[in-house]
Structure 1
Amino acid sequence: MSSLTLGLLGATLLSLLIWLVLLLFWGQFWRTDQRLRGTPPTRWPSIAVVIPARNEAAVIATSVRSLLQQNYGGDLHLILVDDQSDDGTTDIAQQTAINLGKQAQLTIVRGTPLPKGWSGKLWALSQGIEVAAEVAPDYLLLTDADIAHDPQNLSQLVAHACTHHCALVSLMVKLRCQSLWEKLLIPAFVFFFAKLYPFRWVNDPQRATAAAAGGCILIETTALEKIGGIACIRDALIDDCSLAKAVKSAGYRIWLGLTSSTVSLRAYTTLDSIWQMVARTAYTQLSYSPLLLLGTVIGMTMVYLLAPISLVTGLVLHQVALAGVGASVWLLMAIAYTPIVRFYGLAWPWALTLPLIAVLYTLMTLDSARRHWQGRGGAWKGRVYP
């Protein structure tokens, strides 16, 4: 065996060790068992739902309808903040409420121009929360305009929050997974997120790990006020995790889990659409650090790419040990990836695609850094954030 082959074998053995650590000691991130569980409270608290919407005509009717038809026992009011849409988003939302005979439960706020130092979504949320204060709700539900909520979603969120004394409860809603590119990349998006923020660690009050999913966040109004309101994260591009960190750092308990019944309506039918979503904030996640970027590229290569390289090289060179270690690592990563693949209703062979997926996500991260260096790293819905 040549020195080059020995070096590859040693590196792949290290990859094997990394996967054993990830599977056994990294918060069981690969499992999909963090689900809402709670007992209905004796009194259902009041809720104000704040929905920032910017050009969401294609999905807003479904979203608003799902919220107005919630099976919820407490007071519920929707506040839609029109973030300068030009596609009739608010007219569709208003007509949806009228058709249901629930126009009194919907307030539409015309958003004002974005001030310096704010991201668009957070400024819209801030305006909605200010209007919500007039009805003094016990909780706020911060949700996106492209989410279809299960009729029981609010009841389950509140029951979990009350039972487990959580100030913030968030759901990673089930993302659309129908097109070829969605099947290849969307389950992996959740998988990588969970590896970065293991849900069990997020839900453990003894650990500092904090995260949330911005599509569905239930938060106690008093907790939000204590951390300084939404203004405390006004310029955050990864606003959901920033909010969760602020809440947990203030001593409150938070919870993050999965749901299969509340779903995202956003379609990602092309590679470019998913690429744009990831590249918008990937380099932000690395704190705009070239060193962290380099470490990420090396780490992704070590963790995900050495296995197939070693397997193929071992087979070609008839090096049984090298091929065997490569196959073992690939099997371990497929085992880790299988639960989320099954959660999205895909056949198990999709779990074998993780090395290819890792290559694509690494390229997206590199592109995110390139955009940042060119001064357009935070581009989203017609806006560019510094």
Structure 2
Amino acid sequence: MAIFLTVISVLLLCQFFFTIWNMKQFPVLKPASFSSDEPISLSILIPARNEEKRIEACLQSIVDQRHHPKELIVLDDHSTDQTRAMVERFAETYPWIRVQSGRALKQGWLGKSYACSQLAEVAASNWLLFLDADVRLKRGAIEAIYNQLCTQKTGMLSGFPEQKTGTLFEQLVVPMMMFTIGCHLPVKWVGKSKNPAFAAAHGGFIAIEKTCYYDIGGHEAIKDSLVDDMALARRVKEIGFPFTLASIHPFVYMRMYESGQEVWEGYRKNVFPGVNRNIALLSSVFCVYTMLYLAPVICFMVALLQLDMLSICLATLCYGLGVSIKATIDIENGRTSAMAFLLPVSILSLIAIGFASMKIGLKKEGYEWKGRRYE
């Protein structure tokens, strides 16, 4: 057991140093001045389906900015609540805001991709910023976004907003999204490599230049993809446009889910499709996670019973390294590091969701989200 734990500790130490280096590779949105003669224009596009609990705060965060986009269009995707009425109230005060009625879902399309495609059709700017209704912009966000887009000129920009969490299950699972990115995706290669394998994006925040958007086929090219953000990023890289995965949490935040059930259903919908329904890949990742982050805890308990002090020390070292990796990623993304101590529980939760996602995918039972069923 001591030999096994020694090997694990070496692997975790390497992972720790890689993570520190990797998190420093993110380009960072920076505060910037704004000039009215900027060579770009920006349309903020928000697909909304029954978002009355979220849309008001989203719009308020945008109108509270020092500078505003050229236009803001919300697509009411057949909402049955007060979503449309809330947007219309904003439109009465701000003429650059309007609401668009969504068409009936076409066969072969998934709901969000079809909504985004309709928004792109009516957008007048040369940059399109797709936001989810639960996204909030902090002060100075518009200027920072303009600054990055002016520098980049074309292609796509995405990033992971600061994640606000409430329930315990949210705190355990939601930050694991950045944990997997920080541990496994060489961020430097995301911008430099044309290989679509080195791509990651967050569907809540995607800015894409209009020429690039239509050259890659728009959302129609990925109309049946459950993980539309990743599919769009891969298309951008395949065609050869610039792609930036930036650190946007200083200017953007969100609360993706508001209950443990939403976390379970949301992640279950994305995990298996997110690895292209590759059983071997998902199983391999979970085996590695079990070995690195769960096995040391089990070894610690066994060593404690056997009074094996060497193994107890090594297991404690392994646990501490795992916690340090998680804490590093949490802190770099504007979160507290307190939940890092529950990393083994987060890993167990993620594995449970992953296998539930795989089960549904293999049995073709269909994933349910916001009243729609997806295959």
- Taking structure 2 as the reference length, the TM-score comes to 0.90
SS at match of 1:298: helix
Letter in 1 for 2:15: L
Q: State the shift of 1:327 in Å.
A: 1.6
Match of 1:129 among 115, 120, 126: 120
Contact 2:31 2:143 in 1 (8 A): no
8 Å contact from structure 1 (residues 171, 258) kept in 2: yes
2:293 is aligned with 1:304: yes
Give the Cα–Cα distance (whole angstroms) in 2 for the partners of residues 373 and 11 of structure 1.
34
CA displacement 1:60-107 (0-9 Å, x = unmatched): 11112222343337x511111111110021111111232xx21x2123
1:216 is displaced (CA, Å) by 1.1
CA distance in 2 between counterparts of 1:28 and 1:57 reads 41
In the alignment, does 2:181 pair up with 1:173?
Answer: no
Secondary structure, aligned partner of 1:379:
strand
Alignment-mate amino acid for residue 72 of structure 2: L
Alignment of 1:55-134 (within 5 A): 55-72=50-67, 76-98=70-92, 101-102=93-94, 104-132=95-123
Q: Which amino acid aligns with 1:147?
A: V
What amino acid maps onto 2:207 in structure 1?
L
Q: Is 1:219 aligned to residue 208 of structure 2? A: yes
Residue of structure 1 in register with 2:17 after alignment: 24
How do 1:306-321 residues align onto structure 2 when only pairs under 5 Å count? 306-321=295-310
CA distance in 2 between counterparts of 1:281 and 1:251 reads 26
Is 1:190 the equivalent of 2:185?
A: no
Q: Distance in 2 between matches of 1:379 and 1:365?
A: 15
1:345 Cα deviation after fit: 4.2
- State the alpha-carbon separation in 2 of the partners of residues 31 and 323 from structure 1: 33
Q: Structure 1's 317 and 31: CA in aligned 2 closer, same or farther, altered over 3 A? A: farther
Q: By how many angstroms is 1:25 displaced?
A: 4.0
Q: CA deviation at 1:224?
A: 0.9
Gaps of 5+ in 1: 1-7
Using the alignment, how far apart are the partners of 2:25 and 2:353 within structure 1?
A: 25
Judging changes above 3 Å, is the alpha-carbon distance between structure 1 residues 286 and 266 closer, same or farther for their aligned structure 2 residues? closer
The structure-2 alpha-carbon separation of the partners of 1:224 and 1:345, relative to structure 1 and needing over 3 Å to count, comes to: closer
Counterparts of 1:148 and 1:379 in 2: how far apart (Å)?
26
Deviations 1:252-274 (A, max 9, x none): 222122313422144433x3221
SS in 2 for 1:159: helix
User: Which of 5, 12, 15 is residue 5 of structure 2 equivalent to?
Assistant: 12
Structure 1 outlier segments of 4+, above 6 Å: none
Check 1:236–1:40 CA distance in 2 against 1; reply closer, same or farther (3 A cut).
farther
Which residue type is aligned with residue 109 of structure 1?
Q
Aligned amino acid, residue 347 of structure 2: A
> d(CA) in 1 for partners of 2:24 and 2:100?
40
Q: Which residue in the other structure is 1:268 paired with?
A: 258
- Of 229, 238, 245, the residue aligned with 2:234 is 245
Distance 1:34 1:304, change over 3 A: farther
Matched-pair contact (CA < 8 Å) for 2:45–2:131:
yes
2:252 corresponds to which letter in structure 1?
T
Length, aligned pairs only: 370
Aligned 1:328-339 pairs, distance under 5 A: 328-339=317-328
How far 1:366 sits from its partner (Å)? Answer: 0.6
8 Å CA contact 1:9–1:310 kept in 2: the answer is: no
Output the CA distance in 2 between the equivalents of 1:299 and 1:66. 41
Corresponding residue SS for 1:78: strand
- One-letter identity of the residue aligned with 1:83: D
Q: Are 1:176 and 1:268, in contact at CA under 8 Å, matched by a contact in 2?
A: no
State how far apart, in whole Å, the 2-side matches of 1:244 and 1:264 are. Answer: 21
CA drift of 1:27 comes to 8.1
When the two chains are superposed, the root-mean-square deviation of aligned CA atoms in Å is 2.4
Shift of 1:124: 0.3
User: Equivalents in 2 of 1:107, 1:143: separation in Å?
Assistant: 15
Q: Which amino acid aligns with 1:15?
A: I
Partner of residue 4, structure 1: none
Q: Aligned in 2, Cα 1:294/1:178: closer, same or farther, shift over 3 Å?
A: closer
Question: Sequence identity, in percent?
Answer: 25
Amino acid at match of 1:263: Y
Q: 1:344 to 1:262 in 2, by over 3 A?
A: same
Residue segments in structure 2 that go unaligned for 5+ positions in a row:
none
Structure-2 change in CA distance of 1:186 and 1:29 (3 Å): farther
**Contact 1:281–1:378 (CA under 8 A) maintained in structure 2:** no
Shift of 1:28: 3.3
* Match of residue 380 from structure 1: 369
- Aligned residues of 1:308 and 1:326 also touching (Cα < 8 A): yes
